Structure 1
Amino acid sequence: MKQLRIKKTAIILSIITLLTAGASALDLSLHLYPVYEAPLNNFMNKAGGFGGNVGIDIAPVSLRGRDKIFISGEFTYSVYPVEGLGIQSLFDGALGLGYNFRINDRFAVFPEVYAGLWSFNTSDAANIQSASGLVFGGRVGGEFYLGPAFSLSAFGGFKTYYTRPSPFMNNFELGIGIRYSLSRGLFSSNKISMEENEVEPLFPVFFSHYSDNPFGHFTFVNNEENDIYDVEVSILVDSFMITPYIIYQAPQVGRGDSFEVSACALFNENILELIQPKSSDLEVTVTYYSIGKKQTSTYNIPVTALSRNSMTWEDDRRAAAFVSGRDATAQRFARLVKTAVRNNLRKDIPENVQYAAAIFGALKAFGINYVVDPSSAFTDNVGTAAVDFLQFPYQTLLYHGGDCDDLTILNCSLLEALGIETAFITVPGHIYMAFDSGLSADKIGSVRKGYYIVAEGKLWVPVEITLSQDTFSLAWSYGAREWRKAGENAALIPLKNAWSLYLPISVPDSDVNIDMPSQDILIKHFTEARYY
């Protein structure tokens, strides 16, 4: 007895598990079948009948991904034109159980059995009293899918109207009809699922970089019961984009297959106006064709755009985006310095070196100071995903100071505004700058040993920009010593190379008023400059 209870419990649990597993695939549909019925006995066997079958099909369980076990509730009304007796009618209602076996994307076959009740009204002409009883039957048919929701059906079957002592009538039936899935047609069940999504914060300074470099990744799964075609994925961040940007296209994705998508975008320059982080919705839209019908799935994912001064040091080259010779304030500063000193240039010193010394002296006279920011330091953030705050050139001039990365960005921008190529120098825990001396690498034997860096066929001058209130010669010698001391751990990153990945940008409000040192002071600092 105990074993019997255990078996019953196991059977019940198995059924519950099966139904639960298929609950997500629940499909509710309507069918309408015009039917021809051929009586095999009874007084109506000389004339066929015609009827209409309407019903509801519920498929709570899916097997093999797209086969369905379905339960049907149906009602049939049949009429039989009998010679000499007029039109005879018969009603029946039944519950059925069937299995829809999907052969491919378009075709399926199904067997079904059903049982219910039937009723025949009194026929005075045939001298037959009303009758009723049980109805049993079965049918086998095929379906052709016109789309995800519509299908055409054709079937044949046998039905018996049972009474005692013998059946009232046995029928052979043929039918055609349509089936409409309410789940797919009206409720638009989403069949493309987003299994994974990873979206990084947006850095406004890299807005052009994101057109080819992803800031997020998505994984989708095709849960349709068939292959899908002309798959397209687009994204839109309404605050910073004009139109959706297509990030993925595929001619076909198989049933049950997953596909990965990388999120790139064409952001507009409005994103550069952010001075505080802003949260927005990233709208991801998937469009595709399923059995000839266009389908759309949309997902909204939160994304945060950080302030325009934000950056991480996972790649030191990223800081190149802040260096711009087109920064209006930096450009004006550099040109005023060049105009002031150009008539005092020496012939025995490379021109690039003299202009760099003039810029260094002008910044000293202007009052630029090295300020350590303990909450935003290159030393703490280098090589990490921690968000740092970097100043644009005009901001460092406006604030009269910054940390090592801010001063590096400013000095590089000022020299780039004069057409002098610059580079970042990174050593463990620190960043500073170098500039092209104007001498080719083959001149290394004619210059002071240890004071230049040979790279890309040029001689570069390293300058420790944090010594902003000391002399140019000290900043040069100190920068050269840091390079030698770091050895293999030092790296020189020419800005023109870094810009191939991270384009320089200039923010809209970079043109600010600053009080420049007088021309006499600029000339004084320039003529007092020493070069070693």
Structure 2
Amino acid sequence: VIFGLGGYIKGLDAFATYEARSRDFRMAVSFAPENARDLLEVGEITLASPALYPYRLHHNEPAWLARVELANKTAKPVEVSLKLRGPELPTIKQGFTLASSSRSSVEIPLPRALAKLAPGVYEYHVEVVAFQRGRQNLQRQFSFEMKDAHDWSGASSDLFHFIQPHEPQIVQTARAVLAEVNATRNAVSIAECFYNFLHRNFRYVSDPRPLHSREDRVQYANETLRLQSGDCEDLTILMVSLLQSAGVHSAFVEIAPQGSAPGHVLLMFDSQQNPAAASDTDNLQRYIVRQNGEQPGRLFVPLELTRLDLPFAAAWQEALALYQKFGMEQYGLAEGWVKIIDTARVQD
């Protein structure tokens, strides 16, 4: 007579037999891991941005590429290994412990190698491996679009990426222009020298978008200097770069009536005068007064760069008229569709 007894206790698998005639008793015990398929739950992958712009990547933006939501479905800690694989990219690995019954949002860092990718759509794979008393493999994938080096998101706050005040060609040009006219170190006279340089040698052209492209394209300052042409963003970026190289603080002004984007871009620069140095009438007719907290206001001079056929004073007056019309009379500053973007983020 053979008797058999089997049973399962969580994590333990046992079976025993007894043969009465031979009095042979045998028992087999094996360690059975929990169902490895139930260790971890992987949620959707969130991208920092569905489109990556090379000019942002050069400034380490965004701070991360993708975010993965993980949940430990067990009552014990789980060891997790996360790998990212994709074209033109060495495998990126992360390892960590996920506490029992917890959730975590894991950020995949932005690989510098992505900046070398050609424009196009790329697919990347995320492999998540969980270890406890078993092993669980999970796969997820995501895709993003890599933009061209000159594609612009349309956000005016991104224009500072294209400024190059320390580029050798920009510095040399700024010095040569100022030396040629022996300009006094006055911010307004410096700006007038640079404007006259553009007035004589450059021309405005509309944005040269490729066929079927919805992207606005922007040139770096040294490219506009070489081509001697550009649209409102390109010429403004070059002028800002020249001013910055000469130590004159400036800012972009975006005018997008009723929130249309991208809008028209012009600039304003610090005249380095205190408002008290000018009469109230002069302030209203010629300058934009900018307050800086409790500090005395500064007088800024606006400039329109798309009308290079105009003399400096007329370009100044035209920019001021645009600012007053859309920013003040139509409450564009209050509504948010007239924006001032300082260029202080430019790094050495």
SS at match of 2:285: coil
- Is 1:139 matched with 2:6? yes
d(CA) in 2 for partners of 1:237, 1:320: 30
Letter aligned with residue 207 of structure 2:
D
Identical-residue share of aligned pairs (%): 20
Query: Alignment partner for residue 473 of structure 1, among 303, 313, 318?
Result: 313
Residue 156 to residue 283, structure 1, CA distance change in 2 (3 Å): closer
d(CA) in 2 for partners of 1:245, 1:138: 47
8 Å contact from structure 1 (residues 210, 266) kept in 2: no
8 Å contact from structure 1 (residues 287, 297) kept in 2: yes
Q: How far off its partner does 1:137 sit?
A: 3.8
Query: Alignment partner for residue 54 of structure 2, among 193, 204, 216?
Result: 204
- Is 1:252 matched with 2:109? no
- Is 1:305 matched with 2:139? no
Which residue of 1 is the match for residue 219 of structure 2? 391
Aligned positions of 1:330-479 closer than 5 A: 330-342=170-182, 344-345=183-184, 351-366=186-201, 368-373=202-207, 375=209, 387-428=215-256, 429-445=263-279, 447-455=282-290, 456=292, 457-479=297-319
Q: Deviations over 1:66-104 (max 9, x none)?
A: xxxxxxxxxxxxxxxxxxxxxxxxxxxxxxxxxxxxxxx
SS at match of 2:239: helix
Which residue of 2 is the match for residue 492 of structure 1? 340
Stretch moving more, 394-403 or 468-477: 394-403
Residue 262 to residue 440, structure 1, CA distance change in 2 (3 Å): farther
Residue 449 to residue 204, structure 1, CA distance change in 2 (3 Å): same
- RMSD, aligned CA: 3.8
- Is 1:178 matched with 2:26? no
TM-score, structure 2 as length reference = 0.76
8 Å contact from structure 2 (residues 39, 136) kept in 1: no
Letter aligned with residue 176 of structure 2:
L
Q: Name structure 2 gaps, 5 residues minimum.
A: 257-262, 333-337
d(CA) in 1 for partners of 2:9, 2:26: 12
Which residue of 2 is the match for residue 61 of structure 1? none
Aligned positions of 1:39-188 closer than 5 A: 137-142=4-9, 144=11, 153=13, 155=14, 175-179=27-31
d(CA) in 2 for partners of 1:358, 1:242: 50
d(CA) in 2 for partners of 1:324, 1:222: 48
d(CA) in 2 for partners of 1:288, 1:302: 24
Larger Rg: 1
Q: How far off its partner does 1:463 sit?
A: 0.3
SS at match of 2:52: coil
Which residue of 2 is the match for residue 70 of structure 1? none
Q: How far off its partner does 1:398 sit?
A: 2.4
Which residue of 1 is the match for residue 112 of structure 2? 267
Q: Deviations over 1:448-493 (max 9, x none)?
A: 4232122234221110111122111011011111111112313222
Letter aligned with residue 363 of structure 1:
L
Higher relative contact order (CA 8 A, sep 6+): 2
8 Å contact from structure 1 (residues 190, 297) kept in 2: no
Q: Name structure 1 gaps, 5 residues minimum.
A: 1-41, 43-134, 145-151, 162-167, 506-532
Letter aligned with residue 475 of structure 1:
A
d(CA) in 1 for partners of 2:22, 2:158: 83
Letter aligned with residue 217 of structure 2:
F
Letter aligned with residue 181 of structure 2:
V
d(CA) in 2 for partners of 1:172, 1:443: 110
8 Å contact from structure 1 (residues 323, 504) kept in 2: no
d(CA) in 1 for partners of 2:340, 2:283: 20
TM-score, structure 1 as length reference = 0.52
8 Å contact from structure 1 (residues 211, 266) kept in 2: no
